[in-house]
Amino acid sequence: MASNNKKDNVQCSFCGRNSKEVGMMISGFDAHICDHCAEQAHEIVKSEAKDKPRRFSLQLKKPAEIKAFLDNYVIGQEEAKKVLAVAVYNHYKRLDAVVIAKENDVEIEKSNIILVGETGTGKTLLARTIAKMLQVPFCIADATVFTEAGYVGEDVESLLTRLLQAADYDVAAAERGIVFIDEIDKIARKQDNPSITRDVSGEGVQQGLLKLLEGAQVNVPPQGGRKHPEQKMITVNTQNILFICGGAFDGIERIIGRRLKTQVIGYDVKGEKQRVDKDNIVRYVAPQDLRSFGLIPELIGRLPVVSSLLPLDREILKRILIEPRNSLVKQYTKLFEIDNIKLEIDDEVLDFIVEKAVEYKLGARGLRSICEAIMLDAMYEFPANPDIRDFKVTLDYAEEKVSKISLNRLMVA
């Protein structure tokens, strides 16, 4: 209870000032505290909380439970989900209770991950879903904007600025977050041999990422941008930040093929002929393939967990449309439901959407572009017409709407 009444001649239980000497007196039971003492107490609590080391607390699920959670949002990619679940479990298990698990002087190193797969196969979705489950700060950074320090572009440290922003500048929370670095293949050096000249957006960026991935005290500009001497910095320890890198690695299939010698049907291993899945050859990706593609050995060594995401077939794409908790069909149904309109989509329309996604090689990401093209006119016109209460999407309707949309518009996805 607060009072500004100067006639209430009460004294502060802490400093002894009476109500006439202070701006506000806060009363409770038989005790009183003035606004001066309340402000001082607040500053003391803030200071103590800042200096006191935080114990890491996280309700970490077992790998099978993590994969089961991923199954609700990501269809297919069973091997990638299993690899990711184990890597995330091992990473956060080492932080549990003592921040870095040590037993008999054995220090467990973190398991940074690299995902290889063409666009639209779910790399970003996997990382975002993992962060959603763990409820830890998460950010996505595009490697294509980074350049070597001193050149036009962003310093690699700026990706930690995004993580800090996602954590509301809580450094302790950010230091146990997850960073997804997309388009990691775009910073590959231009040839397999080390360059004798500057490769400021390729090999130079890879060198800059090394200390972040391994773990170091990094000075981060709080608002991003370039560093300058007079700017106030925030120090972030990346030792316990999990880095997940993803890239399409266009053309790596040829590198894998040369290694497996797939010019014949299968290859010999100790006299036994083993068949190679040529349609999904990316499943055989190995660290030496990433090196041949243009990643430096030091960077590959700091990304010990390598997994691949396979191209999505028609069956998987159709399941993506209808099965996940946030599937596109469920999203559009909810959007129309908000306007009191019942949406119904024929099954053959779903097959048509899948066929177009396969035809345009858009992957799962392209499904939404095609759905948007089909639903656009209805979403524009129906909210203004209170008489419409049902909307059934037929194959003829879908084909008509898609035919009016240029291929270039769909390919933007």
Chain position carrying tokens 């949406």: 343
Q: Which of 289, 260, 292, 288 is nearest to 276 (CA)?
A: 260
Whether 154 is in a domain gets the answer yes
Whether 58 is in a domain gets the answer no
Are 120 and 199 found together in one domain? yes
Q: Which of 387, 388, 397, 378 is nearest to 332 (CA)?
A: 378
Are 280 and 231 found together in one domain? yes
CATH code of residue 261: 3.40.50.300
Q: Could you tell me what percent of the chain has a pLDDT over 70?
A: 80
More confident residue, 36 or 405: 36
Q: Which of 254, 277, 308 is the last residue of a domain?
A: 308
Gap between the Cα atoms of 284 and 403, Å rounded:
39
pLDDT at 69: 92
Whether 268 is in a domain gets the answer yes
Q: What is the mean pLDDT of residues 63-77?
A: 91
Are 302 and 320 found together in one domain? no
Residue 3 has pLDDT above 50, yes or no: no
Residue 403 has pLDDT above 50, yes or no: yes
Are 105 and 8 found together in one domain? no
Q: Which of 321, 308, 406 is nearest to 363 (CA)?
A: 321
* CA–centroid distance for 44 within its chain: 36
Whether 256 is in a domain gets the answer yes
Residue 265 has pLDDT above 60, yes or no: no
Q: What is the mean pLDDT of residues 349-367?
A: 87
pLDDT at 149: 61
The two three-digit tokens of residue 305, written as one number:
């967990």
Are 23 and 93 found together in one domain? no
Is the pTM of the predicted complex or chain greater than 0.75? Answer: no
Gap between the Cα atoms of 208 and 152, Å rounded:
15
Are 301 and 220 found together in one domain? yes
Strand partners, 412: none
pLDDT at 405: 72
Residue 278 has pLDDT above 80, yes or no: no
Whether 364 is in a domain gets the answer yes
pLDDT in tens, 8-22: 578 888 888 888 888
pLDDT in tens, 362-396: 788 889 889 999 999 999 999 999 899 999 999 99
Q: Which domain holds residue 206?
A: 63-308
Q: Which 3-state string (H, E, C) describes 363-408?
A: HHHHHHHHHHHHHHHHHHHHHHCCCCCEEEECHHHHHHHHHCCCHH
Are 42 and 183 found together in one domain? no
pLDDT, the chain, mean: 81
| Lowest pLDDT segment from 228-232, 243-247, 334-338 | 228-232
Residue 195 has pLDDT above 60, yes or no: no
pLDDT at 266: 47
pLDDT at 200: 56
| Model confidence band, residue 6 (pLDDT cutoffs 50, 70, 90) | very low
Phi, psi dihedrals of residue 125, rounded to the nearest 5°: -60, -40
Are 18 and 71 found together in one domain? no
Please tell me which of 20-24, 62-66, 202-206, 261-265 the model is most confident about, judged by mean pLDDT. Answer: 62-66
Chain position carrying tokens 């759905």: 371
Residue 264 has pLDDT above 70, yes or no: no
pLDDT at 106: 67
Total structural domains within the chain: 3
Residue 346 has pLDDT above 90, yes or no: yes
Are 247 and 379 found together in one domain? no
Whether 56 is in a domain gets the answer no
Q: Which of 288, 308, 328 is the last residue of a domain?
A: 308
| Lowest pLDDT segment from 46-50, 143-147, 181-185 | 46-50
Report in angstroms the alpha-carbon separations of 78 from 81, 309, 316: 5, 9, 12
Are 283 and 337 found together in one domain? no
pLDDT at 78: 92
Residue 271 has pLDDT above 70, yes or no: no
